[in-house]
């Protein structure tokens, strides 16, 4: 494995992790709404 990672791969990994964070934030908000709705 080369030491220098191609820029495209780095950008792709970054986008993937950002999407994962975004997704978990949405899930948290939905769960929070459901909790408020239930109580």
Can you give the three-state secondary structure of 1-39, one letter per residue?
Answer: CCCCCCHHHHHHHHHHHHHHHHHHHHHHHHHHHHHHHHC
pLDDT of the residue at 26 = 97
pLDDT of the residue at 20 = 95
**Token pair 């986008």 in the structure block, residue:** 15
Q: How many CA atoms lie within 13 A of 35 on its CB side?
A: 6
27 has a pLDDT exceeding 90: yes
pLDDT of the residue at 30 = 97
pLDDT of the residue at 1 = 58
Domain edges within the chain: 1-39
């Amino acid at each position: 494995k080369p030491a220098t990672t191609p820029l495209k791969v780095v950008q792709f990994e970054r986008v993937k992790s950002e999407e994962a964070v975004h997704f978990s934030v949405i899930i948290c908000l939905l769960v929070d709404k459901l909790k408020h709705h239930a109580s």
